[in-house]
Structure 1
């Protein structure tokens, strides 16, 4: 676990008030920022450099909430090199059509655009290019979640809570959504293909076999 001195040295945490040449006092503001840093690092998966940039936007009084959200969102996702094969070209075109179709206010330079195109291209390479047919279903769910995230932000009152909530809703909210999605996948799989369903099918088959034997006996 990185130390407080490390966070101060990296510019993530403001220096404490010196109480002696070798000791510093940290107040509740420091503790709150420290909890945010560790959450972004351990749960959000952000690198130290990315956290420094996000917190820089949070601490900038000239930075709007929209820009703070963008600073946080831009640090999420992959950092891989963009491909230029046929699948990548097709995937980018699909993403562009999605953005236009939904009327989303975003720029093509948004890292999420390339992240989505990269994921779709990878699916195309393994024979699942038809996954693009689900993009609008995903977009419907994503818009609902986005409204919920920003609705949470809107309920905060103090300015310092607002900017912090934007970061939490963006970075940690993604971790929450991904975990909930995995839980929903397990449930959906169990209902469609799980052992309980197979057992129910077996019981029905046994009943059918008994019924046939009874009819033959008559």
Structure 2
């Protein structure tokens, strides 16, 4: 089986009993929207959020046999930021958003950091959370949509030569994060970006 002894990293996630049904319904719902509104691959984007630990530790290491105390560097490291990547169904990677815990740009990478200028030219958004966490907030989601997602869709509509770009729908697939599902955010999306259809990756199915 090509197995090896491993140290567990987390409890196994329990999938819903009807996971196949849930995923099938989600796929059919998305297919229906694509067909109904004639949405090309370039106008379908999936966004994720991932915690990025600055110094990833581990609870295993090599040490002398018999020692009762086995130290490891970084095992208690908690500092991290949130990376928010997006990619279209046509395979185009959108500019990243990175969210850092803090109230000012001083919490973000220094402008003199290696490759900072390149990241800036690529449209990356390096933003302080202005909250008590580095996870995405309502304000950060608005920034992502206004500065990355919506501009990408508008640019692609022009590139694709859409006859009536103002009435062309796009699909944005996101996960079931509490902010994403909130009435406040979804109402804002319907009001501010009515041609972007928000759909969700089914919860507890990944």
Measured against the shorter chain, the TM-score band is under 0.3
TM-score if structure 1 supplies the norm length? Answer: 0.25
Q: Which has the higher strand share?
A: 2
TM-score if structure 2 supplies the norm length? Answer: 0.26
Q: Which has the higher helix share?
A: 1
Higher RCO (CA < 8 A, seq sep 6+): 2
The higher radius of gyration belongs to 1
